């Protein structure tokens, strides 16, 4: 097939993906260096797409095996906020539809791999498309009473209990939740290995981030909208300078020592 198109025209055709198989074969035989660069770029793009698709299919392995075993309402469960020194721990449980289009769901992945804007966008999509979802907060005071692991399990347990329709199986990120009436499976790095858990991780993260951003309006000195309650250097410095808020975790260092210091000096926040 004769190549009458310029390199710019071929680039536009490849970019828009409007070419025939015969044209593609002809371009591969084209001796022009610019055309061959376009061919190699296209091949790399296809390889990336294939790898992304295979990763998406892998994230559905657990769900598909459970569907084949007869389970139809599979809940993915994850939490966010175990590490911060301020704010709640938040758990989410999500039941996704059984038939998920790769085109629509391929970008749903562990929330930690996504940008703030992506999480915001995907959280809205998940919540609109899910068969059911629930988000539960367990406060910093409950964390201090129960310890962070038990507080996490409580949040997950409540999120599952409040789902409607009720799930018949739970896939949970790393944790085994007590007192469930349905079978469960704890998956290490579940937010990377299960699409349902990844979806839960996204909506939990977005919910907690919004919670911390609202708290930042009340306590602007701590810049919670930036650190989300994690113990950054600037956050610790603010604690030493301004004292401890009612939303800091008394069971997390260095909060107790700073609390003691400011209690003695009567410089604590009172509301």
Residues annotated in a binding site for a divalent metal cation? 78-79, 173
Biggest CA pair distance of the chain: 87
Q: Is the dihedral of CA 154, 156, 157, 158 positive or negative?
A: positive
C-alpha 110/C-alpha 141 separation (Å) is 28
Number of residues written out for the chain: 271
- In sequence order, the β-bridge partners of residue 132 are 95
C-alpha 91/C-alpha 83 separation (Å) is 14
| Residues making up the binding site | 78-79, 173
| CA angle in degrees (0–180, nearest 5) for 210-214-219 | 135
Indicate the SS3 state at residue 138: strand
Residue with tokens 């700073």: 258
- Going across the sheet that includes 89-95, the strands are 132-138, 89-95, 74-80, 169-173, 184-187
Q: 95: phi > 0 → left, psi -120 to 50 → alpha, else beta; which?
A: beta
The dihedrals phi and psi of 187, each to the nearest 5 degrees, come to: -120, 120
Indicate the SS3 state at residue 179: coil
The dihedrals phi and psi of 30, each to the nearest 5 degrees, come to: -70, 130
């Amino acid at each position: 097939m004769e190549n009458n198109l310029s390199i710019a025209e071929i680039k536009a055709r490849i970019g828009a993906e409007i070419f025939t198989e015969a044209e593609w074969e002809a371009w591969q035989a084209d001796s022009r260096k610019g055309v061959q660069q376009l061919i190699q770029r296209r091949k790399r793009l296809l390889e990336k797409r294939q790898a992304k698709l295979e990763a998406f299919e892998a994230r559905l392995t657990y769900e598909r095996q459970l569907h084949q075993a007869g389970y139809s309402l599979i809940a993915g469960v994850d939490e966010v906020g175990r590490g911060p020194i301020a704010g709640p721990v938040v758990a989410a449980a999500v039941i996704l539809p059984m038939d998920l289009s790769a085109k629509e769901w391929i970008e749903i992945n562990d929330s930690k791999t996504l940008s703030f804007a992506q999480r915001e966008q995907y959280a809205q999509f998940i919540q609109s498309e899910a068969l059911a979802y629930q988000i539960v907060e367990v406060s910093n005071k409950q964390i201090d009473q129960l310890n962070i692991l038990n507080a996490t399990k409580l949040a997950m347990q409540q999120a599952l209990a409040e789902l409607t329709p009720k799930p018949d199986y739970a896939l949970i990120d790393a944790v085994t939740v007590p007192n469930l009436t349905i079978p469960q499976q704890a998956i290490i790095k579940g937010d990377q290995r299960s699409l349902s858990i990844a979806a839960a991780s996204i909506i939990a993260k977005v919910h907690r981030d919004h919670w911390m951003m609202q708290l930042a309006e009340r306590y602007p000195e701590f810049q919670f909208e930036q650190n989300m309650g994690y113990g950054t250097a600037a956050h610790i410095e603010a604690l030493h300078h301004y004292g401890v808020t009612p939303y800091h975790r008394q069971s997390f260092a260095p909060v107790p020592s700073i609390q003691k210091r400011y209690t003695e000096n009567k410089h604590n926040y009172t509301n």
